[in-house]
Amino acid sequence: MAKRSLAVIVLAAGQGTRMRSSLPKVLHEVAGKAMVRHVLDAAVDLKPQRSVVVLGRGMERVASAVAPAAIAIQDPPQGTGDAVRAAMGALKGFVGDVLVLYGDTPLLTPDSLKRMLAARRAKSDPAVVVAGFTPADPAAYGRLLLDKRGSLQRIVEFKEANAEERQVRFCNAGLMVLDGARLPKLLKQLSNDNAKGEYYLTDLVHLARAAGWDCRAVEADAIDVMGVNNRVELAEAEAHLQNRLRRAAMENGVTLVAPETVFLRSDTNLGRDVVIEPHVVFGPHVRVADNVVIRAFSHIEGASIASGATIGPYARLRPGADIASDAHIGNFVEIKNASIEAGAKVNHLTYIGDARVGAKANIGAGTITCNYDGFNKSHTDIGKGAFIGSNSSLVAPVKIGDGAIVAAGSVIVRDVPADALGLGRGQQVEKPGFAARFRSQKQKQKQKQKKK
């Protein structure tokens, strides 16, 4: 059974200079998650006993992002074979299968990895299994050369391939599964006798064949093994993953009115019979229950939305927004760190922050909770069934009791008891005839200016 155990090595020491960024390449996000985390999460389904991420010196940010995986340092970087050597210290005594992945392949799927692992555990007992793919344009990819029995003979780099070999469209994706019992012997034989002076993992195929061991290749979907080396490819990976997420949502009972305009995150959790209108953007940590309607041009992050609620259009839910069942959040409304209880309505041009809005309360257009004094955030509590008139400012900390009414245009600085009226306006004054006198005066002034 020990031979059936699995270790995962993720190579992530590259600086990614083509990204033109101070952020390490593997920390660039696709659908809101760092690329290297996508890779590790794809491998989780295989239940590895050990996981090791190979980094370069000074990559503490990446080390933090991949925790609790073990870290191996490749210093200085001397190729992919050298990177696997660096990881072997963390795999001391391990004799199971070793899956080698790359931290810049965020579209990997568990199914692709499982096919590789099944090939490694086949009766032929290959020492090396390589993932291959057939791209639309093979370009300068390395070619996988198979014999008549389907065994992998060797990997030839494009620059070293002859005309016949370049006609082969089956290309090297870089991913491998290796027999951990035979791997140390193969790594010892690696040479850096090449133009770059590096140790190439691809040489393991030649070394294994020389030892009389079988090698195999498994075809993966070209999108699954897509690597990201620059911002253009990052955008392409984002587009592919968004399409996957949208399709999965629709297959699970979500209606996307215009799928191509909706942007999801890897952790977006959507219930059944949710309807999402065009141009909705989800940030991280969003949970949406069944039978919710999210109208067009809304932006939602860090929020929880209960069944039957309606959001938008043009709504913004920020972290800590907790929207209860059958609540209505309307156009140009922003909710932050606030609970909107069952059946409450916040329908127009309103900001609710650091607050509670009680069940079936009604918040009028233009209302704001004044929650920040420049130093501290304070809480506003609005009771159930309360009615807040339009254009009201509730200066926190303040409490509006159950069933209370706040008159339109009020500035409320003290608590309003239950069922009371809170009125905080300046006194209205009328001056008869003022408007006519004002117009006459202004007209005379204009005439004088013209004469000058």
The catalytic site residues sit at 348
Element (H, E) at 231: helix 231-251
Q: What six digits make up the tokens of 198?
A: 């590096």
Alpha helices of 152-197 — where are they, by DSSP H? 163-166, 183-188
Report the C-alpha gap between 324 and 327 in whole angstroms: 6
Q: What six digits make up the tokens of 5?
A: 């155990």
Beta carbons of 95 and 181 less than 8 angstroms apart: yes
Which residues are registered as beta bridge partners of 354? none
Beta carbons of 233 and 227 less than 8 angstroms apart: yes
Report the C-alpha gap between 71 and 92 in whole angstroms: 14
Pairing of the two strands 128-133 and 97-102 = unpaired
Beta carbons of 176 and 131 less than 8 angstroms apart: yes
Could you tell me which of 176, 152, 171 has the C-alpha nearest to residue 221? Answer: 171
Alpha carbon separation from 384 to 155, 343, 367, 399, 415 (Å, rounded) = 70, 10, 17, 12, 15
Q: What six digits make up the tokens of 2?
A: 């020990």
Report the C-alpha gap between 226 and 167 in whole angstroms: 21
Q: Look at the alpha carbons of 443, 444, 445, 446 in this order and tell me if their dihedral is positive or negative.
A: positive
Q: What six digits make up the tokens of 279?
A: 């141009």
Report the C-alpha gap between 353 and 336 in whole angstroms: 5
Beta carbons of 200 and 194 less than 8 angstroms apart: yes
Phi, then psi, of 292 in degrees rounded to 5: -95, 145
Written as one string, the DSSP assignment of 258-305 is SGGG-B--TT-EE-TT-EE-SS-EE-SS-EE-TT-EE-TT-EE-S-EE
Q: Look at the alpha carbons of 84, 90, 95, 97 in this order and tell me if their dihedral is positive or negative.
A: negative
Measured in Å, how far apart are the chain's first and last C-alpha atoms?
Answer: 104
Pairing of the two strands 304-305 and 275-276 = unpaired
Report the C-alpha gap between 279 and 302 in whole angstroms: 18
